């Protein structure tokens, strides 16, 4: 049981390049999330998906797009990377229920130069 798997673990991009962060969960969760973690700040929600086929903006969605490919997979795309997007990105999932834990991936450390 792998839980939440995200790839890649590390990535360096040049300004203007694009990339997609992949996330998959095997817990049959309806809800999936993308967060970014920056020094001195709490995790901030970029986008979330409450169910397959639906996505919603979080607190910091600018410069990102997402795709909920199916119930298992939720990808995050940077179309034109900027140095301000240098961060650690976490994917998470949870059951669609009030009283439920969230399960996180191992994180992707992205540097944009």
Partner 1 sequence: KNEVEQSPQNLTAQEGEFITINCSYSVGISALHWLQQHPGGGIVSLFMLSSGKKKHGRLIATINIQEKHSSLHITASHPRDSAVYICAVRPTAYFGNEKLTFGTGTRLTIIP
Summarize as ranges the residues that interact with partner 1 (CB under 8 A): 31, 33, 40-45, 48, 50, 56, 58, 90, 92, 94, 96-107
CA distance 51 to 93: 11
Closest approach of partner 1 to the CB of residue 82, in Å:
23
CA distance 84 to 48: 21
Give whichever of 58 and 63 is closer to partner 1, judged by the CB atom: 58
CA distance 70 to 88: 24
Closest approach of partner 1 to the CB of residue 97, in Å:
7
Give whichever of 17 and 71 is closer to partner 1, judged by the CB atom: 71
Closest approach of partner 1 to the CB of residue 62, in Å:
18
């Amino acid at each position: 049981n792998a839980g939440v798997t995200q790839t890649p673990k590390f990535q360096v991009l040049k300004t203007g390049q694009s990339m997609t962060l992949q996330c998959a969960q095997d817990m049959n969760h309806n809800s999936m999330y993308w967060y970014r973690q920056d020094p001195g700040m709490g995790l901030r929600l970029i986008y979330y998906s409450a169910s397959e086929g639906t996505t919603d903006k979080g607190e910091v969605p600018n410069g990102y797009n997402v795709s909920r490919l199916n119930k298992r997979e939720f990808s995050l795309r940077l179309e034109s990377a900027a140095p301000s997007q240098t961060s650690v990105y976490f994917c998470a999932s949870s059951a669609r229920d009030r009283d439920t834990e969230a399960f996180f991936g191992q994180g992707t450390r992205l540097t944009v130069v």
